[in-house]
A and B are shown apart, each in its own frame.
Chain A
Amino acid sequence: MGKAELPLHAPGTQVDRGYIGQSVPRPNAQRLLQGRGVFIDDLRFPRLAHVAFFRSPYAHARIKRLDFSKALKQPGIIGAFDGRAVAEYCTPWVAVLAHLKGIKSPPQHAIAIERACSQGEACAAVVAESRSQAEDAVALIEAEWEELPVVVDMEESLQGNTLIHQDLGDNVCFRRELDTEGVAAAFERADAVVEDTFHFGRHTGVCLEGRAILADYNAGEHSLTVYHATQAPHMMQDIFSRHLNIPEANVRVITKDVGGSFGIKVHVYPDEMATAALSVMLRRPVKFVADRLESFLSDIHCREHRVKVRLACSKSGEILAFDLDDLTAIGPYSVYPRTSGIEGNQVVNLTGGPYRHREYRARMHVVFTNKNVTCQYRAVGHPIAVALTEGIVDLAAKKLGMDPAEFRRRNLIADDAYPYTFPSGIKFEKLSHHQCLTKLLDVMGYQKLRDEQARLRRDRIYRGIGLAAMIEVTNPSPAFYGVGGARISAQDGATLRLEPTGMVTVMCSVTEQGQGTEAIFAQIAASAVGVSIEKIKVITGDTGVTPYGGGTWASRGAGIGGEAVLQAGRALRANILEVAAAILKLDRQELDVQGNHVINRLTGEQKLPLSELGRVAYFRPDTLPPEFQSELTVTRHYTPRQYGFAFTNGIQASLVEVDADTGFVRLLGHWCVEDSGTVINPMLADEQLRGGIVQGIGAALYEECLYGPDGQLLNGNMADYLVPMAGEMPDIVCAHVETPTRQSQLGAKGVGEAGTAGAPAAVMNAINDALAPLGARVTRMPFTPERILDGIAQARSRA
């Protein structure tokens, strides 16, 4: 069979399949399996100094005096520094963006000066020859404090009786209103109106590797090399350069292996900036790794929303309008440089997103509190938007006595309605809600589960089925951050180099934190060039080596970085053919690259191994025509432009059993059908979904950063803050619909956040479905046994 008889492209895309669509195991997993990965804390440097931070014990207090005299007498101490000393080397920042109109936040320093605004804020740094020496000395710092009024409750913050930052005039960081103007009329003419208030607990990422940075300043060349567990090395290069006043070209950021990130490691942290400044001040390498207690106190937290939502619908089950009021609290500062206004903004953008209604009103306030800061964590705003959409949709279906799957079928945007503009202004290129719903109901055996549920209810076994349709932001264009003035790249680049041996080195600006970036780039590069995958070596995470780019966040790595790799691979293939034509003295149109050889395009006959082509190009170019110069290194970039985002869609389902006596929820099954466009590696895509779903389940059932009224974190350790463990988790069935984006030739959209976006909603709806016969309903995440028992007790007292 000739090649011409084989399909050249996946439906709707322009990709030679090659390795695309194959479940290739990750080549870079081998070192991790032997414990031979290199995380930041594994690096060993001569003259390495270690920093430990003296952190505020109070949620809000003036620093009246810091006395380092005892600390400085300890063995191994190199120095102790307060905020003013560090500020000499590191300028403060203000986290606002121009496109979030009216957003405000006070200047923030690497080390607090004068005032600590949350418990755990770094107020001094001690540098020593070992971490334990530094920690011993921190314990000997004497501080005098003046406690200030503490605001922990977001409603109280919004009222503004006590101001956290006097200069700002109120406690509001950002507000947004949106109104299609027909909302009141839609509620007027509605046959049914449902409303509810949903609460989302503050939680955090709990990356198993704490935040980690090793900064190495070279005074001889005024250069800074930063080994940093970060998702965005070029963003950090820019930030270190500007705030430490070192030319950008002299700053190099290298990630090494990163032990989980999920959005935690994409922000600027004051203690990390201080570590870099200390390296400059001390002219030696300085390392900081957040221990677990510090991680709970100072890694960004997320969520903490209170949302009132109303839905209007007709008696035939047509949704007419959504109306919401979101209040969210972010701690004392907006987080640099992405701001803490994005999560609330996403709630406004995305709520109601899968459905056809044309009327929508939203009001949203982001307020300051004296708790740790919150910012973008995996799925940013989506878990909230999806949960309140799907929670209120279920309530509407219930009120109409309609099956929740049928209610969704009537309201999901039709698969042939695209391109489509949602009332919030977001644009969908092409989604597949109905295909996904149909597939989900089929994969999970929906009707059979409903029958079983009804049967078991007679025996007072309370099972529930919850559905959650979703849309997700992926492949963001410059509209996300760049237009607001943030120096965060929306484009990414890939360089491919054919080595003399016929190997291909791929260097890409998207980073790897274990999600499989390097594996899929190898698949794409091998397919595009025409070599076998073991010939590919991928390098990421080094600003000194890779092209410039955004890194890993907002489900952008595969879709944006992958397209850059594809384009670079095609260009390299074309250049290889130029060299081959010169060597073979044939027309390049007759040639192609396949299986590590230059072949005859028509007959498939192998003409020249790439190793021989490389040998001639690099070592014997004298044998080629004098005017010919081979170009076997190529770079290509890709920026999504036409749409603000390549929206994906999907739907999840959860099956739970609630024990009405103990309040415990048992997860019996979870299903997810996702359309993320071209699936490059089905195994890795499924694993992104599963990992994301389990993080979403954590938010739904277990995880919450609990604060006392004095702003003290009550459960900041792994024994008290519960995370999902293997024993409680269900098996998760994944399936895909593939609607490639036509904005790229690869056609891939993102898949990293969908699981986290939809799982809390699916679990919540399943729990409420289970509780329905008891007349109970819960809307405050996480759904702890205590909250579920409270819900049941309240229902009983109402009855």
Chain B
Amino acid sequence: MDYALDITLTVNGTQVSRRVAPRQHLVDFLREELGLTGSHVGCEHGVCGACTLLVDGEIVRGCLMLAVQANGCRVETIEGLSDSGELREIQTAFHRRNALQCGFCTPGMLMAAQDLLKHHPKASREEIRLHISGNYCRCTGYQAIVDAIEEVIYGKG
């Protein structure tokens, strides 16, 4: 594992360059090399969605993409999207509806929710449920999350 590659990518608007092992996952790179611990590692086999990130504007599993594959890409994490205000509306709805308990799935869930709002701004309740079905939450039972997303779409009080 001595072999390493140089990568340069933009993370939350800042260009970073690092030498990384080819086997390192993108989410491990963000957490271990950059200290961006908001993206969580839940299963490491692409099922739970806790590590969901934005790469060039699309949501990806941070545990199914290697750091070297992100060379030259634009990566955004929960920290960056929180500071830019991009997630403010959905974060506020999650807070008001208590659409989170332990908070471990929440960054990934917010990414998935925001992706739905962007690509399918008039999604039905059923479509909301299907869209977030790649993100596992053990605490809430999902209803409050669906309610929060619906609230952003339809402004339900």
Contacts and interface: CB of A to CB of B under 8 A. Distances in A.
Given A35-B78, A260-B139, A727-B129, A41 B37 contact: yes
A291 interface: yes
A379 interface: no
A579 interface: no
B130 A34 contact: no
Nearest 4 pairs of A and B residues by beta carbon: A35-B38, A32-B103, A35-B78, A514-B101
Interface in B31-61: 31, 35, 37-45, 47-48, 50
B6 interface: no
B140 A687 contact: yes
A724 B48 CA distance: 11
B144 interface: yes
B142 to A, nearest CB: 4
Contacts of B23: 132
A30 B95 contact: yes
Contacts of B140: 687, 690-691, 694
A262 B141 CA distance: 13
Contacts of B97: 683
Interface residues of B, number: 53
Contacts of A755: 141
Given A32-B106, A33-B95, A292-B43, 15 more contacts: A29-B94, A33-B82, A33-B103, A35-B39, A39-B104, A44-B35, A136-B1, A208-B137, A260-B138, A514-B102, A516-B101, A687-B144, A717-B47, A726-B142, A732-B143
Contacts of B130: 726-727
A683 B142 CA distance: 14
Contacts, number: 172
Contact of A694 (B1, B42, B105, B142): B142
Given A29-B95, A32-B103, A42-B37, A514 B139 contact: yes
A725 interface: yes
A717 B138 contact: no
Contacts of B1: 75, 132, 136
B66 interface: no
Contact of B105 (A208, A719, A728, A731): A208
A32 B106 CA distance: 7
A29 B39 CA distance: 16
B141 A209 contact: no
Nearest to A31: B103
B152 interface: no
Number of contact residues on A: which range applies? Answer: 35 or more
A207 B138 contact: yes
A718 interface: yes
Interface string B83-106: 000000001001111101111111
Interface string A328-370: 0000000000000000000000000000000000000000000
A729 B129 contact: yes
Contacts of B135: 725-726
Contact of A292 (B45, B100, B102, B104): B45
Nearest to B129: A726
**A30, A695, A727: which has the most chain B beta carbons within 10 Å?**
A727
A317 to B, nearest CB: 34
Contacts of A108: none
B98 A25 contact: yes
B78 A726 contact: no
A34 B78 contact: yes
B67 interface: no
Contacts of B137: 208, 726
Among the interface residues A34, A261, A731, A732, which one has the most CB atoms of the partner chain B within 10 A?
A: A34
A38 B105 CA distance: 13
B152 to A, nearest CB: 14
A687 B138 CA distance: 12
A693 interface: yes
Contacts of A513: 101-102
B114 interface: no
B133 interface: yes
B140 to A, nearest CB: 5
Nearest to A75: B1
A37 interface: yes
Contacts of B95: 25-26, 29-30, 33
B53 to A, nearest CB: 11
A36 B79 contact: yes
Contacts of A35: 37-39, 77-79, 82, 106-107
Contacts of A209: 40, 42, 102, 104
Contacts of B146: 726
A208 B41 CA distance: 9
A259 B37 contact: no
A717 B91 CA distance: 30
Contacts of B144: 687, 690
Contacts of B106: 32-33, 35
Contacts of A259: 40, 102-104
Interface string B124-153: 000011101111111111111110000000
A728 B35 CA distance: 36
Contacts of B48: 208, 292, 718
B79 A26 contact: no
B26 interface: no
Contacts of A30: 95
Given A25-B98, A29-B100, A515-B101, A723 B136 contact: yes
A691 B138 CA distance: 7
B75 interface: no
A684 interface: yes
Interface in A171-213: 205-209
Contacts of A34: 38, 78-79, 82, 91
B64 to A, nearest CB: 12
B102 A208 contact: yes
B143 A684 contact: no
Contacts of B41: 41
Contacts of B68: none
B61 to A, nearest CB: 12
B98 A208 contact: no
Given A33-B110, A208-B48, A726-B133, A25 B38 contact: no
A729 B104 contact: no
19 contacts: A29-B98, A29-B100, A33-B110, A35-B82, A38-B37, A41-B41, A208-B105, A259-B40, A259-B102, A259-B103, A514-B101, A684-B98, A690-B140, A691-B141, A695-B138, A717-B45, A724-B141, A726-B129, A755-B141
Interface in A275-331: 291-292
Contacts of B42: 208-209, 292
Contact of A26 (B98, B133, B136, B141): B98
A257 interface: yes
Contact of A691 (B31, B47, B101): B101
Contacts of A694: 140-142
A206 B138 contact: yes
A36 B38 contact: yes
